[in-house]
Structure 1
């Protein structure tokens, strides 16, 4: 799978690392309602071109997952700032 790296120069490898780090930082720095989104931009950083359709849970199961994710933030980041800002889609 990552054989394209074998052909890259040091400069190309460094540019690839910077591109990947920037993508990871953008994902890491997501906050508020952006935490809940599908992130194809992050996956587009991979060299293979693939646009798989995710399996999407039905609404009740999906909402239970959202609630569980939000609960995990209380457990993993209990001192993170909170916001009452509504979603603006």
Structure 2
């Protein structure tokens, strides 16, 4: 895997690093309700042509995961601002 990089020029490698960094930044900068969404664009940055389909938990298990994620934000980042803005599709 990734053997094709061995033959790339310096310019090609720099362009690839910039492309990957941009994708990572877009994912990193997700905020609010966008954090809850499926992010196939991030996986699409890889050269493998796959279409990974997630296993979707049943509602009670899914909601428990959402609650645990939100609790982890309280534990790991209690200084972050909070909002009561509702999701707008």
Same fold (TM over 0.5): yes
Is 1:70 aligned to 2:70, yes or no?
yes
Q: SS at the partner of 1:60?
A: helix
> In 1, distance between residues paired with 2:2 and 2:24?
18
Consecutive aligned runs of 4 or more in structure 1 exceeding 4 Å deviation: none
Structure 1, unpaired ranges of 5+: none
Shift, 1:22, TM fit: 0.6
Distance 1:49 1:81 in 2: 38
- In the comparison of the two structures, how many residue pairs are matched? 89
Question: What TM-score comes out, normalization by structure 2 length?
Answer: 0.97
- Superposition RMSD on alpha carbons, in Å? 0.6
Counterpart for residue 39 of structure 2: 39
Counterparts of 1:37 and 1:49 in 2: how far apart (Å)?
Answer: 21
Shift in Å, 1:45 = 0.3
Q: Structure with the greater relative contact order (CA < 8 A, sep ≥ 6): 1 or 2?
A: 1
Gaps of 5+ in 2: none
